[in-house]
Structure 1
Amino acid sequence: MRPVDAAPSIATVPSKPTAPSSATGRPTEREPAGGGKQVRAAAKERRRFERREIRRFTRRSRHRRWGWLTAIAIVVVMAALLAVAVYSPVLALRTIRVDGAKSVDAKAVTKAIDGQLGTPLALLDYGAITTELNSFPLIRSFATEIVPPSTLVVHIVERSPVGVVVTSAGFATVDPAGVVLSTSAKRPDGTALIELGSAGTDSVAFEAVVDVMLALPASIRSRVDIAQAGSKDDVRLILKGTGAQIVWGSAERSALKARVLTELMAAQGKNARVEYDVSAPMSPVVRPR
C-alpha cells in the first residue's frame, strides 16, 4: 500500500495594513503634527531672503536712477530760474548809474544809453551800449556792472590831456594816444604846448614827447610850458616863468633822467634860469642862460 501524500499546506503571509483611503479611494500619507506651519514659515523666509538679494543686486542701478532723476530735477529748476531772470519784468533795467565821470557829462552818458530802460538785465544790448559810449571822446575805457534787481552801473575811465597841438581848427587838446579831446581858438591854460615841427600826433616824435611828459613828476610836469621834439632823439622842455630849459634827448632811460632832473632842480632852486642837460643822465650838466 502506497503511502498517501499529505495535502500541501499553504502558508499565509500577513498582509500589510493599508493607509486609510481618501474620498477617491487612493491611499494618503498622514502629515506629521505641525508640519504645515513649518513649511509655510520656510517658504516665507525663503521669499524674504530672495527680496533681500534682489535689493542688494539692484542697489547700484537704483542709485544710478536716483542720480539721473536728481540731475534732471536740477536742470529743470535752473532752466526755470533762467527763464525768470531773462523774461521777468521784475529784473528789468530801471536805473542807470555812472561812476568816474569828471570831465565827461554823466547825464549825457545816461541819456545816451537810456534806450535800454525796461529791458531785462539778461537781455541788455551791450553792443549798442559800446557804440553809444564810444562817441564820447573823453572816455578812454569803461566797464559795466549789473546790480540786481534793476540797476546798471557804468564805470568810466576818462582820457587825460597830455598837451596841446596847433591845428588848422585851433588849439587841440590831445591825450597820450593823440586823441583830440577838445578844440578851442585860444590855448587852454595849464596845458603844455607840444611843438613837433612838420610831424603830427601819429609820429615817433610825438610818442617821444608823451613818454617824457609821463615820466616827469607831477610837480615838474605842471611847470612845462612847451615840449619840443624835432625827432625822437631830440626832446626839449621849456619851463613856465623862468624860461629854464631841459635838454632831454631821447625818451630812453626817462625814469632815471626824471630822478636826476629832480635833484638838479632842487639844488639850483625853483627860480633858477638855467639849462638842465640830462641827455646823458650819468653825466648831467647845468648851464647858465
Structure 2
Amino acid sequence: MASTRKPTFKPATAPRQSKAGRPRGDSAEVISAQRSVEPEAKAPEKPATTAKSAVGGSKAAGRPAKDGKTLPADNVIAFPEPKKRRQRRLVLWTLSIVTVVVGALIAGAIFSPVLAVRTITVDGTTLLTPDAVQKALSGLEGKPLPQLSEQEINELLKPLVQVRSATMEARPPSELLVHVDERVPVALLKQGDSYVMVDVDGVQLGATKDLSAVALPLIDAGVGTTNTELFKAIAAVLDTLPADILARMSTASAASADAVELKLVDGKTVVWGNAEDRELKSKALEALLRMPADPKVPVSIYDVSVPRHPFTK
C-alpha cells in the first residue's frame, strides 16, 4: 500500500540573489544541487622593481609601499658608491685621524715634564753678570720649554734696568738660552761723590767713584737733569759715535740744542752743532781723527757742524 505521507522541505534562511544582486521575484523554495566552487586566490601583484643608488646601505628595503604593504628587500638594486665620494670620505677620515694624532703629540710636548727647564744659559751681558739674570729667571725652572714666551722673560727681567730686551732660544730637552740686549751707557753724570752711567734715554745703569775707571765723557753738570732738551741733544750725539771714538771723549756740553761741543782727552775740541745729520757727522769726525798729525800744522778744533765740508784748525 502506497504511503500517503507528503515529503517536507526546510526553507532557505535567506533568499538567494540573482546575478544582478536583487532577490528573485519568486519566493518558491527550490532545492539546488549546484556545486559551489571557491574562486582561486589571486596571486599578489609583484611591485615594480625600483632602482635607487644606496649610500652606506639602502633605505628602500622594508619601505612601506603606497598600498600599505612592505616592499621586500630583494626588490631594490643598490648601485656602488661613486668613486669621488668614496675618495673624499677617505681623505676626510685620514685628515681627522692625523689631526687627532698631531694634537695629542703637541699636547704631550707642551705638558711633558721631559721638556722641563733645568738649565738657564745667559749671553750678551756686560753691565750685568749672568748670575744676576739667571737669578731673575729662576722661577722658570721646572716649566716645560714649549710653555715659555719672550714676553714672560722680559717681564721677569724688568727689575734689571740694564736690560733693554731679551730673546729666548729653547734647546731641548731642558736648556733655555737667553740672549740679553743691554742698554749702552753713553755718558757719566756727577751725583754727589759718585758718577752715574746713563744711556741715551737717561736711564741710570750703574755708578762709580773713579772717573778714570769708565771710558765715557762726563756731561757738564750745568746741563741739568736727564729730561731736559740739552741732555737729549748731547746724549743723541754721543749715542751716534762709534765705541772707540766715544772712549776718546772727556766731556760733552751744549750752550743750546744747536751748539753741542765735545772735548777729547787730549784737550782738543769737536764742534758738532745740532743733532741733525748725526750719522754723516760721525763719519766725518772719524775721518778727521784718523788723519796723520802734522807737527807743522797743529790741530786744536775739529769742526763737523757742516758734515759735507768738515775742517780742522
When normalised by structure 1's length, the TM-score is: 0.71
Aligned counterpart, 1:207: 232
Amino acid at match of 1:253: D
C-alpha deviations, 1:48-94, integer Å up to 9, x for none? xx77xx33x52222112112211110111012102211222212222
Task: Rate the CA distance shift 1:105–1:264 in 2: closer, same or farther, 3 A.
Answer: closer
The answer for the alignment partner of 1:104 in structure 2 is 128
CA distance in 1, matches of 2:310, 2:85: 84
Q: 1:239 to 1:127 in 2, by over 3 A?
A: closer
Name the structure 2 match of 1:258: 282
Comparing both structures, which one devotes a greater share of its residues to helix? 1
Q: Which moved more, 1:73-82 or 1:168-177?
A: 168-177
Q: Which amino acid aligns with 2:96?
A: I
- Structure 2 CA distance for partners of 1:157 and 1:125, relative to 1, 3 Å: closer
CA-CA distance at 1:125 after TM superposition: 6.7
Corresponding residue for residue 183 of structure 2? 159
Q: Is the 8 A contact 1:197 1:230 kept in 2?
A: no
Distance 1:284 1:154, change over 3 A: closer
Q: 1:219 to 1:131 in 2, by over 3 A?
A: closer
Q: Is 1:76 aligned with 2:100? A: yes
The separation in 1 between residues aligned to 2:104 and 2:287, in whole angstroms, is: 67
Distance 1:217 1:86 in 2: 44
2:218–2:251 Cα contact (<8 Å) kept: yes
User: Is residue 2:313 matched to residue 1:276?
Assistant: no
* Residue among 219, 227, 238 paired with 1:194: 219
Whether 1:225 and 2:258 are equivalent positions in the alignment is no
Q: Secondary structure at the match of 2:90?
A: helix
TM-score with structure 2 setting the length: 0.66
1:116 to 116, 140, 160: 140
Structure 1 220/150 Cα, relative in aligned 2: closer, same or farther at 3 Å? closer
Give the corresponding residue for 1:130.
Answer: 154
Residue 257 of structure 1 aligns with an amino acid whose one-letter code is K
Q: Structure 1 pair 205/148, CA: closer, same or farther in 2 (3 Å)?
A: same
Find the residue that maps to 2:137 and give its secondary structure. helix
Q: Measure the CA separation in 1 of the matches of 2:312 and 2:150.
A: 56
- Pick closer, same or farther for the CA change 1:158–1:276 going to 2, 3 Å: same
Q: 1:216 to 1:128 in 2, by over 3 A?
A: closer
Ranges in structure 1 where 5+ consecutive residues have no aligned partner: 1-49
Please name the residue that 1:237 is paired with.
262
Please say if residues 187 and 199 of structure 2, whose CA atoms lie closer than 8 Å, have aligned partners that are also in contact: yes
**RMSD value, Cα:** 2.7
1:233 maps to a residue whose letter is: D
From the superposition, tell whether residues 276 and 167 of structure 1 become closer, same or farther in structure 2 (CA, over 3 Å): same
CA distance in 2, matches of 1:96, 1:64: 49
Distance 1:126 1:265 in 2: 42
Distance 1:247 1:84 in 2: 64
Query: Is the CA contact (8 Å cut-off) linking 1:277 and 1:284 kept in structure 2?
Result: yes
Structure 1 residues 255 and 69, CA gap change in structure 2 (3 angstroms): closer
Deviation, 1:239, is 1.1
SS of 1:197 mapped into structure 2: helix
Which amino acid in 2 is paired with 1:276?
Answer: Y
- Kept in 1: contact 2:150–2:167 (CA 8 A): no
Shift of 1:251: 1.7
What's the offset of the Cα at 1:168? 4.8
Judge conservation of contact 1:245–1:276 (CA < 8 Å) in 2.
Answer: yes
User: How far apart in 2 are the matches of 1:117 and 1:146?
Assistant: 13
Question: Which secondary structure state, in structure 1, belongs to the residue aligned with residue 159 of structure 2?
Answer: coil
Q: How far apart in 2 are the matches of 1:104 and 1:123?
A: 26
Q: CA deviation at 1:142?
A: 0.7
What percentage of residue pairs aligned between the two structures are identical? 36
CA distance in 2, matches of 1:159, 1:141: 9
Once the two structures are overlaid, the 10-residue window that deviates more, 182-191 or 145-154, is 182-191
Look up the match of 1:12: none
Aligned to 2:18: none
Structure possessing the higher radius of gyration over alpha carbons: 2
Distance in 1, Cα, partners of 2:310 & 2:251: 21
- How many aligned positions are there? 235
